[in-house]
Structure 1
Amino acid sequence: MSKKNAFYAQSGGVTAVINASACGVIEAARENQDQIGNVYAGHNGILGALREELIDVSLESAEAIAALRHTPSGAFGSCRYKLKSLEDNRAEYERLIEVFKAHDIGYFFYNGGGDSADTCLKISQLSETMGYPIQAIHIPKTVDNDLPLTDNCPGFGSVAKYVAVSTKEAAMDVASMCATSTKVFILEVMGRHAGWIAAAGALAQEQEGDAPHIILFPEIAFDKEKFLAKVQKTVDEKGYCVIVASEGAQYPDGTFLADAGSTDAFGHKQLGGVAPTLANMVKSELGLKYHWALADYLQRAARHIASATDVEQAYAVGRAAVEMAVAGKNAIMPAIIRGEGSEYSWSIAEAPLSEVANVEKFMPRDYISEDGFGITEAGRAYLLPLIQGEDYPPYKNGVPRYTTLKKQLVKKKLGTDFEA
């Protein structure tokens, strides 16, 4: 039986370490050339497969692939494109199988979050019924840290480190100027339904009473009066108040504080900015001078301050995906398992995609303080190991030196184009 080629694609919002997973996949595949032929990468994620735009990874040097480990963003291009259900549009999935068959692809590695886990599972299932079985392995990636069955998600640890450091530094700035300037500072971070990133702001605290003084989680219904009272009390006592707010903060009825009234490609509500919404409350109700900042893409692209733990785990799940595939595994995800004991350790196990796809993991209530504005010691114990260690990229002329790839496409073999 001839060996099959592999297809790798990046999905959804990129991270500081998703390319480390790509590095792990490609290096492991090159070490298993007796079972895996060429590696192709999707140009702009799954769209690359639908449009038959496959990047020939064999043309990339070993040095360029190794440099992916310290390069942020999505080196092959990612996309926000949710495949419809099999019932609504079977043609999309059949097109993927046709492209894989044309290029003799037998391994599918999809690097993303919950939606991509669902796609991975469906391709595995449909390929069997079409008589061209594909070994589909999902590689976890999401800054939101909301995938089930894995202790944490590659990409999260580096965002958490960035948010903790930024909160600490901004708080020092505000504290030094609050006598005559800003009284309230609000940092808005990502996290639509799960407050993991917002919680990481608490890691800036060295002792009780340190900033951030208020954290707003999607899991805790927003109480305007309680919030404003806490802001005023903190300013009265400390002279200033620092807030870390999740973009998904919502009222008791589930309405987002910052609902922009539209949806994205995945059907998710577009959020219009919780920080300015809160700032307007502070100004109109309390008359306090404020400043706010939006971490936005900066938090997920900050490879210069990545967590060493995160980099190691991202690379490891990429390698593990290939090792699982050559061992004959299918429809699974390499999951990070936290070890027992006081000293942090981790290992990798298999998680079935049937239990991963379209399932969100939220902050446990016992990780959030009783008043809903902070984290508990249990929450801190969970978060702290994930931001440990520094893994600085090489620098040139004072800025990080990141790699770019050739990204040369292979010749198309199918006679028809596909509009996606």
Structure 2
Amino acid sequence: MSPKNAFYAQSGGVTAVINASACGLIETARQHPDKIGKVFAGRNGIIGALLEELIDTSQESAEDIARLRHTPSGAFGSCRYKLKSLETHRGQYERLIEVFKAHDIGYFFYNGGGDSADTCLKVSQISAALGYPIQAIHIPKTVDNDLPITDCCPGFGSVAKYVATSIREAGFDVASMSRTSTKVFILEVMGRHAGWITAACGLAAEQEGEGPHILLFPEIEFDEEKFLAKVKATVEKYDHCVIGVSEGIKDKEGNFLSETGLRDAFGHAQLGGVAPTIAQLVKDKLGYKYHWAVADYLQRAARHIASKTDVEQAYALGKSAVEIALAGKNAIMPAIRRLADTPYRWDIAEAPLSEVANVEKFMPRDFITEDGFHITEACRRYLSPLIEGEDYPPFKNGLPDYVRLKNVAVPKKLAGEFKL
């Protein structure tokens, strides 16, 4: 009996290290040709499976697959497309199984966040019910660091390193100009419900007076009066104020300060930029000159300053996903397990997808100072190892030398078109 093929897809917002997970998975699968045939990748995530738009990764050289470890973004294309419930959209899941069956796929590896974990779990369930069992393994990925069980999420450590570096450098800039120019600088970072990235900004403040001086978390209700008083006191003491703010901070009524009224493809509220809102508040109420910036895609694409810890963990999780599948297991997510803080030690455990799907991990209250405006030493101990080490990509002509795969399409076998 010939070995089954595997399907791998990337989902949601991409990161600086999601391709490292792809690298770990594909390289490991190639080491077991007797158990895994070809690894097909979905063009633009799960949409690639639904539309039968598969990529034959066997057409890529070993050298180019190895270069994925140093390349940001999603090499095969990602998407924000959430499969609905089995009850209301059973046809989508039946289509997936139809495509998998047509291409002799027995392994499903989905690399993403909480919504992807939910999809992976549902595929494992319905495939068995339809008589074509698929071993579905979820590979964690999210810069938001909000998946449960795993100590941290691949992508987060590199974003944390980027925002901490960026806000430190901006802080030096503002401090040098504050006598006659800008008094307040605001950096907006990602984080809809969980303030992990905002907390990472706090790592830059190692000495008295260093920015960021104020952090605004989604977990802490925004109090305008207390915030303005804190800004005023900080400027009076240090002659400037550096602020890190999560895109997802809310007012007393629970409304996002930056909500636009639109929804993304996952059904999440579309946020429109809280930094200018905060900046205008500072200007109107305190009269300080300000500058603001939104890290946006830069924070999650910054492979040039990726955390070595993050890269190693991302690769290891891709590798472990294959090993878990080859062990005959199903509906599992390989997870990082912290063994010690100093020196940082970790290994990989296994988390049931039933305990991962649709569960968000928020900042513990004891990671945030009593006044709600900064991180505690406990938080610093947790975060510090995750940004450790440098893993620079190769450079060519003064710029990072990233790989672009050929992404050769697999011939379609099914008749007709599937409508999303």
TM-score, scaled relative to structure 2: 0.99
Query: Which position in structure 2 is the counterpart of 1:129?
Result: 129
Moved more, 220-229 or 201-210: 201-210
Query: Which position in structure 2 is the counterpart of 1:227?
Result: 227
User: 5+ unaligned residues in a row in structure 2: which ranges?
Assistant: none
Letter in 1 for 2:95: R
In the alignment, the residues of structure 2 paired with residue 253 and residue 162 of structure 1 have an alpha-carbon distance, to the nearest angstrom, of: 32
User: 5+ unaligned residues in a row in structure 1: which ranges?
Assistant: none
1:63-91 deviation digits (Å, cap 9, x = unpaired)? 00000000000000000001111111100
Query: Which position in structure 1 is the counterpart of 2:379?
Result: 379
Query: Which position in structure 1 is the counterpart of 2:23?
Result: 23
Moved more, 36-45 or 202-211: 202-211
In the alignment, the residues of structure 2 paired with residue 45 and residue 29 of structure 1 have an alpha-carbon distance, to the nearest angstrom, of: 19
**C-alpha displacement at 1:31, in angstroms?**
0.3
**C-alpha displacement at 1:341, in angstroms?**
5.7
Letter in 1 for 2:419: E
Question: Is the Cα–Cα contact under 8 Å of residues 164 and 201 in structure 2 kept in the other structure?
Answer: yes
Query: Which position in structure 1 is the counterpart of 2:14?
Result: 14
1:182-237 deviation digits (Å, cap 9, x = unpaired)? 00000000000000000000111121332100000000000000000100111111
Identical columns (%): 75
Query: Which position in structure 1 is the counterpart of 2:186?
Result: 186
In the alignment, the residues of structure 1 paired with residue 40 and residue 253 of structure 2 have an alpha-carbon distance, to the nearest angstrom, of: 46
Question: Is the Cα–Cα contact under 8 Å of residues 191 and 246 in structure 2 kept in the other structure?
Answer: yes
Question: Is the Cα–Cα contact under 8 Å of residues 304 and 400 in structure 2 kept in the other structure?
Answer: yes
Query: Which position in structure 2 is the counterpart of 1:143?
Result: 143
In the alignment, the residues of structure 2 paired with residue 11 and residue 208 of structure 1 have an alpha-carbon distance, to the nearest angstrom, of: 41
Query: Which position in structure 2 is the counterpart of 1:330?
Result: 330
Moved more, 340-349 or 219-228: 340-349
Question: Is the Cα–Cα contact under 8 Å of residues 21 and 317 in structure 2 kept in the other structure?
Answer: yes
1:104-137 deviation digits (Å, cap 9, x = unpaired)? 0000000000000000000000000000000000
Query: Which position in structure 2 is the counterpart of 1:46?
Result: 46
In the alignment, the residues of structure 2 paired with residue 208 and residue 141 of structure 1 have an alpha-carbon distance, to the nearest angstrom, of: 34
TM-score, scaled relative to structure 1: 0.99
In the alignment, the residues of structure 1 paired with residue 396 and residue 419 of structure 2 have an alpha-carbon distance, to the nearest angstrom, of: 41
**C-alpha displacement at 1:383, in angstroms?**
0.2
In the alignment, the residues of structure 1 paired with residue 342 and residue 36 of structure 2 have an alpha-carbon distance, to the nearest angstrom, of: 40
Query: Which position in structure 2 is the counterpart of 1:261?
Result: 261
Letter in 2 for 1:193: H
In the alignment, the residues of structure 1 paired with residue 345 and residue 150 of structure 2 have an alpha-carbon distance, to the nearest angstrom, of: 14
In the alignment, the residues of structure 2 paired with residue 277 and residue 40 of structure 1 have an alpha-carbon distance, to the nearest angstrom, of: 45
In the alignment, the residues of structure 2 paired with residue 89 and residue 208 of structure 1 have an alpha-carbon distance, to the nearest angstrom, of: 56
Query: Which position in structure 1 is the counterpart of 2:155?
Result: 155
Moved more, 208-217 or 391-400: 208-217
Query: Which position in structure 2 is the counterpart of 1:249?
Result: 249
1:127-173 deviation digits (Å, cap 9, x = unpaired)? 00000000000000000000000000000000000000001000000
Moved more, 141-150 or 339-348: 339-348
Query: Which position in structure 2 is the counterpart of 1:69?
Result: 69
**C-alpha displacement at 1:409, in angstroms?**
0.5
Query: Which position in structure 2 is the counterpart of 1:368?
Result: 368
**Structure 1 moving runs of 4+ over 3 Å:** none
Letter in 1 for 2:181: S
Letter in 1 for 2:385: P
- Look up the SS of the partner of 1:182 in the other structure: coil
| Superposition map of 1:187-202 within 5 A | 187-202=187-202
In the alignment, the residues of structure 2 paired with residue 223 and residue 411 of structure 1 have an alpha-carbon distance, to the nearest angstrom, of: 57
Letter in 1 for 2:208: E
In the alignment, the residues of structure 1 paired with residue 389 and residue 342 of structure 2 have an alpha-carbon distance, to the nearest angstrom, of: 17
In the alignment, the residues of structure 2 paired with residue 371 and residue 341 of structure 1 have an alpha-carbon distance, to the nearest angstrom, of: 26
- Look up the SS of the partner of 1:120 in the other structure: helix
- Look up the SS of the partner of 1:262 in the other structure: strand
In the alignment, the residues of structure 1 paired with residue 50 and residue 322 of structure 2 have an alpha-carbon distance, to the nearest angstrom, of: 23
- Look up the SS of the partner of 1:343 in the other structure: coil
1:257-313 deviation digits (Å, cap 9, x = unpaired)? 111111111110001110000011001111110000000000000000000000000
Query: Which position in structure 2 is the counterpart of 1:403?
Result: 403
- The structure-2 alpha-carbon separation of the partners of 1:57 and 1:341, relative to structure 1 and needing over 3 Å to count, comes to closer
Question: Is the Cα–Cα contact under 8 Å of residues 39 and 56 in structure 2 kept in the other structure?
Answer: yes
Moved more, 308-317 or 253-262: 253-262
Question: Is the Cα–Cα contact under 8 Å of residues 221 and 251 in structure 2 kept in the other structure?
Answer: yes
In the alignment, the residues of structure 2 paired with residue 244 and residue 281 of structure 1 have an alpha-carbon distance, to the nearest angstrom, of: 15
**C-alpha displacement at 1:8, in angstroms?**
0.2
1:86-108 deviation digits (Å, cap 9, x = unpaired)? 11110001000000000000000
- The structure-2 alpha-carbon separation of the partners of 1:168 and 1:341, relative to structure 1 and needing over 3 Å to count, comes to closer
Letter in 1 for 2:350: E
In the alignment, the residues of structure 2 paired with residue 120 and residue 206 of structure 1 have an alpha-carbon distance, to the nearest angstrom, of: 41
- Look up the SS of the partner of 2:340 in the other structure: coil
Letter in 2 for 1:143: V
Question: Is the Cα–Cα contact under 8 Å of residues 40 and 55 in structure 2 kept in the other structure?
Answer: yes
Question: Is the Cα–Cα contact under 8 Å of residues 341 and 382 in structure 2 kept in the other structure?
Answer: no
Query: Which position in structure 1 is the counterpart of 2:79?
Result: 79
2:212 counterpart of 1:212: yes
Question: Is the Cα–Cα contact under 8 Å of residues 5 and 39 in structure 2 kept in the other structure?
Answer: yes
RMSD (Å), alpha carbons: 0.7
In the alignment, the residues of structure 2 paired with residue 314 and residue 416 of structure 1 have an alpha-carbon distance, to the nearest angstrom, of: 37
**C-alpha displacement at 1:254, in angstroms?**
1.3
Query: Which position in structure 2 is the counterpart of 1:287?
Result: 287
- Look up the SS of the partner of 1:339 in the other structure: strand
- Look up the SS of the partner of 2:172 in the other structure: helix
In the alignment, the residues of structure 1 paired with residue 360 and residue 28 of structure 2 have an alpha-carbon distance, to the nearest angstrom, of: 29
Query: Which position in structure 2 is the counterpart of 1:173?
Result: 173
In the alignment, the residues of structure 2 paired with residue 19 and residue 44 of structure 1 have an alpha-carbon distance, to the nearest angstrom, of: 14
Question: Is the Cα–Cα contact under 8 Å of residues 215 and 374 in structure 2 kept in the other structure?
Answer: yes
In the alignment, the residues of structure 2 paired with residue 163 and residue 65 of structure 1 have an alpha-carbon distance, to the nearest angstrom, of: 28
Count of residue pairs the alignment pairs up: 420
